[in-house]
Structure 1
Amino acid sequence: MWQTDDYLEHLYAIAPEERFGARTRGEWQAWQARLRERFEGLLVEPDGKRELSPVLLESVDCGDYTRERINIATYGPLVMPVYVLIPKEYEPERGAVIAIHGHGYGSRDLVGLEPDGTEKAREPGYHKNFAVELVRRGHLVIAPELLGFGDRKLAEDAEKGDSCYRLSTNLLAMGQTMAGHRVFETLRCVDYALARGDVAADRIGCMGISGGGLVSAFAAAIDERLSAAVVSGYANTFQASVLAVPHCIDNFVPGLSQLAEMPDLLGLIAPRPLLIEAGTKDHIFPIQAADAAVDKLSGIYDLLDAETNLVYDRFEGKHEISGKVAFDWFGSIWQTRKADDDGRA
C-alpha cells in the first residue's frame, strides 16, 4: 500500500501542455512557434556568447580527406575543440554535417582515433566511425567535443569516462542544463560552418547517436539552419526510455515532460528531412516506443504533405549506429534539392 507506482502512473497520465494536436497548417504553425519558444527557454542558453575566434591546432593528411582540429570559443570562458574533416575533392553542394558523439571517450571515437589520439586499432564500437563514413561520401564534417567528455572532462575525472554527473548537477543547481549547454554549443558549429565560406547555407545537417542523438534532435528542433537531421538510438518516448530505464543525469531538463513528449519535440523538425535509426535490441530506448514515436511523427509530416521527408531505419541491432540508410542519406536529399533547383532554373 505504500508503493508509489500508482503515483508515477498518475503523473504519466497528465497530458503535456503542448502535445501535438493540430488539424490544419495554421494550427501547426501556431503550435510550432509556441512549443519551440518554450522548449528553447527550458534548455537555457548559456550566458556570454563570444566570437568564435577559431584556432587551428593540427592538420593531418588522411589520404582522401584532411583531418583538422580547431578550437572555437563558445560561451563565457568555454572553448570547444572540434574535428573538421574535409574531403580532398570537396564541393560546397555536397553539404556539411555536424557529427555528434554519445557517451564514450568523445569526438576522437567518431574520427577513427583512440582516446590518446593515435589511430584506432580496436573495433569501431557503437559510433562506427560515422564521421569518417560521412567525409568519405563527400561531406565536410564537423565533430565537436561535447561538454563533459574527452578533453572537456573535469580534472578530477581524468581517469574516468566522463564528467556528466558533477557538471550536470552543478548546472541544474544554478538553473541551467547540460542538455542546453551541449545543444547551444553545437549550434556554434553551425555558426562556424557558415563563417568558413565554403559551406552552402541550405546544406548543413546533423547526425548523432544516443546522447548525441538528443543533441542532434534538440538542435534541429530549435534551429532551422539545420536543414536535415539523423537521430540514432534516441527517438522514443520519455515515459518508456529516460523516465523508465536508468539513464545519465545529462538527459534531464526540469519541466520538459510537463511541456511535451519526445515525439512532439522531434516534430518541431518537420517538414525538414528527418531520419530515425532504431535498433530492435536497444535496451535503453525500447523499440516499441520508438515505433510509437515514429507513428506520431508520421501524423505531423502527413499534415504538412511531407511524408517522404520522414525516414525510419528500423534495423536488427543494439544501441548503435546503423548507417545502412544514413551514410548516403544526406547526399541523396541534397542531390534531389539540387535537381529541383536546376529544374526551376
Structure 2
Amino acid sequence: MITAGSKEELIQDKKSRRKELYGLLGRLPDRNRPIFVKLISREETDEMTIEKLLFDINGEELVPAYFTKPKNTIGKVPVILFNHSHFGQYEVGKDEFVKGRNEMQKPPYALALARAGYAGLCLDMWGFGERHGKAEADIFKEMLWKGQVMFGMMVYDNLRALDYLTTRDDVNTKRIGTIGMSMGSTMSWWLAALDDRIKVCIDLCCLTDYQELIAEKGLALHGIYYYVPDLLNHFTTSQINGLISPRPHFGLAGKLDPLTPLKGLEKIDRNLKEIYKHDGASDAWQLKLYNVGHLETAEMRKDIMDFFKQWL
C-alpha cells in the first residue's frame, strides 16, 4: 500500500529513490563532465532538417547522433529523445530513427515527429550503429570487470544527451518527451524515472515485470545489456515506473509478446494506477494492449502521436 504523506515528502522520497536507482548503474563517468559536440553534416529535406552530430559525452568513446527538426521552424520547439531498439541488428542503431525498420511503421519517427512539430534526438547506444564492432557480450563482460554496468553506461549517455538538449536555443526545455521500442522502450522508462526534465514518457513493447519474466522462464529473451546487478534487491518494475508519476506515461504492449508477460503487465498496470491516483494524476497513466507480438502497428503509431499531441 502507498502511505499518505505531504507533497514535499513525496517529492523528497522520489528524489532519494532516484539517487538509489542511479547508484545501481555501476561506476559511471562524472555526471558533470563537459560535453563537446561536433556538427558532422546538415541535410535539408522537403520537410525537415537532419543534423549528424558527434558527441564527446562519456570520455571513453565518441557517440554519433542525429538531431532533427521540422524545416523552416522559428523559435523553440518541443523535442523527443528517441531511443533505438535492439532486435540483434547491431548495425542499425540510430538509423532506425531516420530510416525506420521493418518492425515499425512508416514513416520513420524522425519524419513523423517533424510533421507533428517536434524536434528529435537519437544516439547510437553502446555496440550499435557506428559504435558497432565489439560484441555486446564482450562489452558487458569488460565493463563488469571494471565495475561498470553496460545498461548504466547506456543510460548515462542518454542522460547527457538530455543535458545537451537543454543547451540548444531551438529547443523548448519545458516540453521534452522520450519514446522507444523494445530496448528503446526500457531506456525510455528508465530515463523518465531518473530525470523529471522528461515531461512525457512513451514505451512501446518492453514494459516487463521482472518477477513474471523469471516465472515464465523468459530471461534469455532479453539481451545481456538488460541485466543490472542487484536491481531486484531494491526495485520492482512498478517501483521504477512509479518514479515517473505524476508525469504523463503511456505504455503500449502486445498481448502475444513473450518479452512482456501478460500477468506482469496487469500487475504493473494495477500498481501504477494506484500510484498515479495517489499522486492526483489518474488520467496521466495509460496502458493499452494490442493483439500482436513484438512490433508496432498502425493503430499503435496513431495512439502514440495522439498521446504526444495531448500531453506535450
**Structure 2 residue matching 1:84: 3-state secondary structure:** strand
1:128-161 per-residue CA deviation (whole Å, 9 max, x = no partner) reads: 522332222110010111111111123xx5xxxx
Q: Does 1:282 align with 2:266?
A: no
**Structure 1 residue matching 2:276: 3-state secondary structure:** helix
1:287-338 per-residue CA deviation (whole Å, 9 max, x = no partner) reads: 331122121111100001101111223222221233231123223213xxxx
**Structure 2 residue matching 1:323: 3-state secondary structure:** helix
Change (3 A) 1:25 1:264: farther
Distance in 2 between residues matched to 1:92 and 1:293, nearest whole Å: 39
Distance in 1 between residues matched to 2:126 and 2:159, nearest whole Å: 13
Q: How far 1:227 sits from its partner (Å)?
A: 1.2
2:289 match: 314
Change (3 A) 1:75 1:58: same
1:211 match: 183
* The structure with more strand, counted as a fraction of residues: 2
1:80 match: 63
Q: Unpaired runs of 5+ in structure 1?
A: 1-19, 114-122, 158-162, 335-345
TM-score where L is the length of structure 1: 0.81
Amino acid in the other structure paired with 1:323: R
Q: How far 1:23 sits from its partner (Å)?
A: 3.4
Amino acid in the other structure paired with 1:290: L
1:237 match: 209
Asked if structure 2 preserves the Cα contact closer than 8 Å seen for 1:126 and 1:320, the reply is: yes
Farther-moved stretch of structure 1 (303-312 vs 53-62): 53-62
Asked if structure 2 preserves the Cα contact closer than 8 Å seen for 1:24 and 1:303, the reply is: no
Farther-moved stretch of structure 1 (314-323 vs 145-154): 314-323
Q: How far 1:91 sits from its partner (Å)?
A: 5.3
1:23 match: 4
Distance in 2 between residues matched to 1:45 and 1:267, nearest whole Å: 25
Amino acid in the other structure paired with 1:43: L
Q: Unpaired runs of 5+ in structure 2?
A: none
Distance in 2 between residues matched to 1:25 and 1:314, nearest whole Å: 34
Asked if structure 2 preserves the Cα contact closer than 8 Å seen for 1:241 and 1:286, the reply is: yes
2:198 match: 226
Distance in 2 between residues matched to 1:24 and 1:92, nearest whole Å: 41
Distance in 1 between residues matched to 2:161 and 2:277, nearest whole Å: 31
1:110 match: 97
Matching of residues 79-158 of structure 1 within 5 Å? 79-90=62-73, 94-103=77-86, 104=89, 105-112=92-99, 124-126=102-104, 129-154=108-133, 157=134
1:53 match: 36
Change (3 A) 1:127 1:165: farther
Amino acid in the other structure paired with 1:32: K
Q: How far 1:225 sits from its partner (Å)?
A: 1.0
1:185-210 per-residue CA deviation (whole Å, 9 max, x = no partner) reads: 10111112111111111111110111
Distance in 1 between residues matched to 2:248 and 2:265, nearest whole Å: 18
Q: How far 1:127 sits from its partner (Å)?
A: 6.8
Q: How far 1:181 sits from its partner (Å)?
A: 0.8
Q: Does 1:173 align with 2:145?
A: yes
Asked if structure 2 preserves the Cα contact closer than 8 Å seen for 1:22 and 1:28, the reply is: no
1:204-227 per-residue CA deviation (whole Å, 9 max, x = no partner) reads: 111011111121111111111111
Asked if structure 2 preserves the Cα contact closer than 8 Å seen for 1:32 and 1:268, the reply is: yes
1:37-61 per-residue CA deviation (whole Å, 9 max, x = no partner) reads: 1111001362255422221112222
2:45 match: 62
Equivalent of 2:25, from 14, 39, 43? 43
Farther-moved stretch of structure 1 (279-288 vs 78-87): 279-288
Asked if structure 2 preserves the Cα contact closer than 8 Å seen for 1:93 and 1:203, the reply is: no
Distance in 2 between residues matched to 1:305 and 1:89, nearest whole Å: 39
Q: How far 1:107 sits from its partner (Å)?
A: 0.8
Asked if structure 1 preserves the Cα contact closer than 8 Å seen for 2:203 and 2:250, the reply is: yes
Provide the alpha-carbon RMSD of the alignment.
2.1
Percent identity (aligned): 25
1:63-93 per-residue CA deviation (whole Å, 9 max, x = no partner) reads: 1111111111111132111111110143556
Change (3 A) 1:319 1:187: same
Distance in 1 between residues matched to 2:184 and 2:128, nearest whole Å: 12
TM-score where L is the length of structure 2: 0.89
